Structure 1
Amino acid sequence: MNKKVLTSVLLGFLAVLLVVGLVYQFTPNVGSLFGKQSSGTPAITVNGQTVTVEEIQALQRSNPVLSATTEGILGEDLKTVAVESRIENALLKAASSGENISRADVNEQVDKVRKGNNLTDNKAWVDRLAQIGFTDASYREEVQSGLAIQKKQKSIADAAPKATEAQIKQFYSLNKDQFRDEARIIGREIVVADKAKATALLAQLKGGSDFATLARENSTEFKDRGGALGPVTGDKPAAVTQVALPPEVSAAAFALTGGGLTDVISSGGKFYIVKVEEFVPAAAKSYESVKKQITDQVNRLLQTAAAEKWFDGLRKSAKIDYLLPAWKINNPTVATVGGQDIPYSDVLSGVVGNQQFASLLQQVPADQAGSMVNQFLKPGIAEQLIEQYAAPTIVADKKLDLVGSRANLAQQLALYGSKDASVTDQDVIKDYQQNVAKYTTKASATLSEAVFTDRAKALAFRQSFDGKNFVQAASKAGGTVSERGSVTAGDAALNPALSKAVFDTSSLRPAGEGSVSDVIENGKTYSVAYVTDLVRANIKPLKEVDAVIRSQLLAQKRAEAGQAYIKAQMKDIKVDNKLSAVLAAQEKRIAAAAPKPATPATPPVTTTPVTTPPTASGTEPAKTPATTTPAPDSTSTPTKP
């Protein structure tokens, strides 16, 4: 079990049992919710408690990841995860068995499950239990165990130390981004249903017209308050957050950190113009305003640390006996950090819990997936675990007021090591220049094309078309019309010459609600394009994307600085990473256990003498050694490249 989720096990074992109800499932790193079987084949004993073959197999069947394969490296790994989960579940139950749980408490929880799953009928209840391997009695035993674990957890949480002022302040200083007011704007909007009208209104605003007056006269929204985005107190609108506007509109408005007018923005069939009168940047909340919230968080971290320490003691002192060799797992130490051993099962918990792992299993065969996991995933997870196991020592040596599980401490150490990271204006400018394509919107349009076989007819049509009913007019002029729909500059589906004619706006002639292109020669045909809804290519100005770039660069710098800090502090901690040796031993063991291919019978051989052509002197050609050619074998398979 990955110890960072141990508290979730203790806090939520019963909750998970009840939420899942009667649908048995496996949650990685948490263990199974499987109850005692009425019978089964003993496979393992854990501190005297029996784990059966049927329990392990049910756990494997219940999850597509664990049942993905039983062969090769990956098969052995998945078996290890299943067995280790059953061992840890048995430990939790055994350690909580002394808690006193009343029959009334059990009945109350069972009744909730039955009502929640519409199983108040006794026969339906018993039938459903049988489907997942329970009897009513065994299910009640499982509920009792869950309540006992919950009660045990509470006693551990109650005994955990409470947050000190120094710990609360340290958490606040490293996690200020969690406690921030959102950015807001004070502004007004004009919303109309017609793009041409919106464009005309924008021109008036740029010419100096009063925004509130035009909003009262034209806007379909908030016209009674002059388009103010928030309620007006006195003469000033209240500030609003981004959710007050449609996403594309808020993105443009909140980019105006210095105030000003947006362009006309289309959203949901409406056209918006926003005037930002004042930009209120996001800011950290004061310590006193969030102290109660932080205190609760730090107390939960202290409880997590206490639970992890308790479970470490359970696992270390566990007496495990494998009754059946088939279910004995290989769980060697993959690394030793300052005298602490990291078991291989911790790495595997990280693998199974990795979001990319299940996706990988669906994309490639299991043997290839196993190789890729060994090569790429396990080493990274092992390095993370090494940092986590080193974290408590670093925190103690540096006398830092950080608390939590090993994983929590590693995360907080990274934040501590990156607290001075910053982004300069030069950093932002450089990133913008290097990635300008990311901030460029390609030109787009709606396109209809008329193709003519005669250039003169194409030219005549181009000159005479007045913008009314392109399809009808082009067909009447002898052209064949193709509706291209929405197109983008550089679209591979467009002929380069056609794309240039459409998006080189200097060659377009206005016609009705759109524009008509020059005649485009394409081999023996000639095209005329009709362009509507043309949107020119646009590069967002730096001021509009500054905040986004700055945030991304800061996150990157913090990640790099945090990792560098932890690596630097680990120089004085003895680390022995044995993962490569563990994986090599596993590969050797799997190869040795693999069934040997049957030796094929020796095929019959035909001998064909090979002679050289006669020499120029006319002497008898010399015989070369005979070559052997295997007879055709219909059962042979080609060699894989």
Structure 2
Amino acid sequence: MLVVGMAYQFTPNLGSLFNRQTGTPALKVNGETVTVEDLEALRRGNPVLSSADSGLLGDDFKTYVVAQKARQVLYIQAAKDIDVSRNDVNAEVTKVREQNNLTDNKAWTDALQGAGLTDAAFRKQVRDGLAVQRKVDSIKATAAPATDAEAQLYYTLNKDNFVSDARIVGRQIVVADEAKAKSLLAQVKAGGDFAALATANSTENKDRGGALGPLENGAPRPVAQVALPAEVGTAAFALTEGGVTDVIKSGGKFYIVKVEKFLAPAPKPFADAKTDVLTAVNEQKKNAAVEVWGDKLAADMKIEYIDLNWKAEDPTVAKVSGQNIPYSEVIGQVVGNEQFTGLLQQVPAEQAAQLVNGILKPQVVQSLIQGYAARTVAQDQKLALVGTRPELAAALAAYGARDVQVTDSDVQKYYQENLEQFKTPASGTVTEASFKDRAQAVAFRNSWTGGNFTQAATKAGGTVSERGAVTGGDGKLGEELNAAVFTATTLKTAGDGSLTDVVQVGTRYSVAYVADLKRATTQPLSAVRAQIEQQVLGTKKNEVGTAFVAKQVAALKPTDNLKTVLAAQEKRVTAAAPKPTTPATPTPGTPATPATGSDTPATGTPATPATDTPATETPAPETPATPAETP
């Protein structure tokens, strides 16, 4: 259902399920009435849609709400032929009541009444929802199974999705006594034969020298991380260059693991991945079948507007490959965009609308054009690609970038240009002693060799400040003291830490005691090469793939009408906005009649006292709505 943006779905949140069944007619979808209350419920159920009901965003949201509600009605209408038994409905209602802690009949009735529903009306909604779900399942069942060509191409373009787990070849020693484990580790580090020690001491796998996997031709078979307890596996698989772990406690036992070989994750051969590949391709084909079905329903849809306040404009915003893209699809992607949601919380609605119109909507339209064009491009290229519009567009980009490689110069360049991200800043725990004059500070630094720093510095006349854990350049220390702690090479060893030189800080003189000092380091290229290769490869593939799709789509000569649509919308919204009223000016020389609640201008005759209806603002008779059919 997510494929075609279905709004009708089940959730344990009663508020999103309850839509009033009676109310003021707003429009008809293929002859079925949708009420104002239905539309308002849909709008209120989404915090973004409910954030504005006027101006450009209000107009956008109205268009989207009408389009979503119309789609919902279409799916319910299309599922009328699906049989849903009373038992099916009862089971679903029971589940909803239990999930919402409404098993008490009175609580259930109160919840229904609060939503303006009867039990029967709610059960009808449940029945409709189950019918839609089953209809979608039946549409999916019509999709043809994946072919070998489709599976092979999908595998080729998505090898990163079919990767084996990291594995290690190794051995372990497991004992019940920590002291014994530490003694065995010391023997290993001193050059002891790990396999022999495991055979003599381990409580597990001792018959094969502690080998983690079964022996094959005399050597242990590789194992995945799940073969070890969680803590042990984490430590062992961190040894990507091989080595021996420390003693690790897990489940009342003590483990030592020797990693003889680390086998990094690698793409599975097609034969090993084929089952998963077929599952993925078949799911895409099912989703595509539902998308086509939904498009067909929408193409035949007729909307008649009864309440002109809910008349929505949903023009064609772009055309490609003989397909029209409705403006409501653009709004739908904007509404679901996290950046737009954040923007609404930072700026007024009208300012957000202008920013979205100028930046986000143009990008969305181009993305939609590529999606709508993707099937045609795939057919023109004779590619065995399947899926929904977004899936096809992504597959085309992957196809266009299939031959992209990362060179050593690419890696070197990225490393040099992004050196800062591979640096670990210096850190330490800092305590500062500040003295009134330099001689005091120097004397203290020369005399203190350990013990309680705070007591000693205070006794020597200093003022002590605990700076705590400090990272070089984080602003917790002044510039002078930061340099003395983390940059200077003249630290004096004292106690369990070090003392800095005496530095002037303002009008006073400070010396800092640093514990747990770690100097700044830069990871060598060899340590981060694999990480850089993946980052660079991803960037290059994205650039090349995007350019490939753009070129193919441009050849289809799509039209983008966004500017025209937005200009027409702004003109329409401006025209519909309330006009400011100009206060009446009294005739010179004629005293104004005191206000009595009436808006009738003074004429020298006493004004009639105001009633509930304003005297001069009687609304014009409502013009009967003319049914309108959506283009």
2-structure distance, mates of 1:582, 1:82: 18
CA contact 2:19–2:41 (8 Å) conserved in 1: no
2:565 is equivalent to residue 574 of structure 1: no
Paired with 2:286 and 2:118, the residues of 1 have a C-alpha distance of: 35
Residue 95 (structure 2) aligns with: 112
Find the counterpart in structure 2 of residue 125 from structure 1. 108
Show the counterpart of 1:24: 15
Given that 2:56 and 2:353 are in contact with CA atoms closer than 8 Å, whether structure 1 keeps it comes out as yes
> How far did 1:456 drift?
1.9
Query: Which residue is equivalent to 2:23?
Result: 40
Q: State the partner residue of 2:239.
A: 253
Q: Are positions 1:522 and 2:508 aligned together?
A: no
CA–CA separation in structure 2 for the residues paired with 1:98 and 1:328: 30
Distance 1:77 1:438, change over 3 A: same
Say whether the 8 Å CA contact 2:205–2:211 is kept in structure 1: no
Identify if the C-alpha distance between structure 1 residues 250 and 436 changes in structure 2 by more than 3 Å, giving closer, same or farther: farther
- Between 1:48-57 and 1:148-157, the stretch displaced more is 148-157
In 2, Cα distance between the equivalents of 1:98 and 1:108? Answer: 21
CA positional deviation for 1:170: 1.3
Amino acid at match of 1:410: A
Q: How far, CA to CA, are the matches of 2:196 and 2:278 in structure 1? A: 50
Q: Give the 3 Å change call, closer, same or farther, for CA 300–507 of structure 1 in structure 2.
A: same
Aligned to 1:82: 65
Q: Is the 8 A contact 2:168 2:237 kept in 1?
A: no
State the alpha-carbon separation in 1 of the partners of residues 60 and 325 from structure 2: 16
Distance 1:235 1:291, change over 3 A: closer
SS in structure 2 at match of 1:529: strand
Aligned to 1:452: 435
> Could you tell me which residue of structure 2 aligns to residue 161 of structure 1?
144
Kindly state the Cα deviation for residue 559 of structure 1 after the two structures are TM-superposed: 0.9
In 1, distance between residues paired with 2:112 and 2:419? Answer: 61
Give the stretch that moved more between structures: 182-191 or 444-453. Answer: 182-191
- Distance (whole Å) between structure 2 residues aligned to residue 133 and residue 518 of structure 1: 77
Are 2:3 and 1:5 aligned? yes
Cα distance in 2 for partners of 1:423, 1:494 equals 43
Give deviations 1:179-238, integer Å, cap 9, x for gaps: 1012334468999xxxxxx9xx99x96xx745959999xxxx999999989568677585
Cα deviation, residue 132, structure 1 = 2.1
Which of 487, 506, 509 in structure 1 is aligned with 2:470?
Answer: 487
Structure 2: distance between partners of 1:415 and 1:365: 39
Say which SS state the counterpart of residue 336 (structure 1) adopts: strand
Match of 2:599 in 1: none
Q: Which amino acid aligns with 1:418?
A: A
Contact 1:4/1:407 (<8 A) preserved: no
8 Å Cα contact 2:212/2:220 also seen in 1: no
Cα deviation per residue 1:361-409 (whole Å; 9 max; x = unaligned)?
1122111111111111111111100000100101111111111111111
Selected match of 2:347 from 357, 361, 364: 364
Give the structure 2 partner of residue 341 of structure 1. Answer: 324
Shift of 1:595: 2.6
Q: Which runs of 5+ in 2 are unaligned?
A: 175-181, 249-254, 586-631
Residue by residue, what CA displacement relative to the aligned partner does 1:258-314 show, whole Å, maximum 9, x if unpaired? x5689999xxxxxx9997532212111122222222222212211111111111111
Output the CA distance in 2 between the equivalents of 1:262 and 1:379: 54
Question: Does structure 1 retain, via aligned residues, the 8 Å contact 2:320–2:373?
Answer: yes
Distance in 2 between residues matched to 1:286 and 1:353, nearest whole Å: 38
Cα separation, 1, equivalents of 2:96 and 2:47: 25
Percent identical pairs in the alignment equals: 48
Q: How does 1:49-64 map to 2 (within 5 A)?
A: 49-64=32-47
1:409 aligns with 2:392: yes
Q: Does 1:534 align with 2:496?
A: no
Any idea what SS the aligned residue of 2:461 has?
A: coil
Counterpart Cα distance in 2 of 1:138 and 1:584: 43
TM-score, length-scaled by structure 2? 0.81
Deviations 1:45-100 (A, max 9, x none): 01111100011111112221111011211111111111111111111111111223
- Conservation of the 8 A alpha-carbon contact between 2:317 and 2:562: yes
Partner of 1:427: 410
Among candidates 297, 322, 335, match of residue 352 of structure 1 = 335
Which range moved further: 106-115 or 138-147?
106-115
Q: Taking structure 1 as reference, are residues 299 and 469 closer, same or farther at Cα in structure 2, changes over 3 Å only?
A: same
Partner of 2:314: 331
Cα distance in structure 1, aligned partners of 2:524 and 2:121: 67
> Contact 1:60–1:67 at 8 Å: present in 2 too?
yes
Pair 1:151-2:151 in alignment: no
Q: What amino acid is aligned across from residue 293 of structure 1 in structure 2?
A: D
RMSD: 3.6
Return the alpha-carbon distance in structure 2 between the equivalents of residues 181 and 448 of structure 1.
Answer: 50
CA distance in 2, matches of 1:374, 1:282: 44
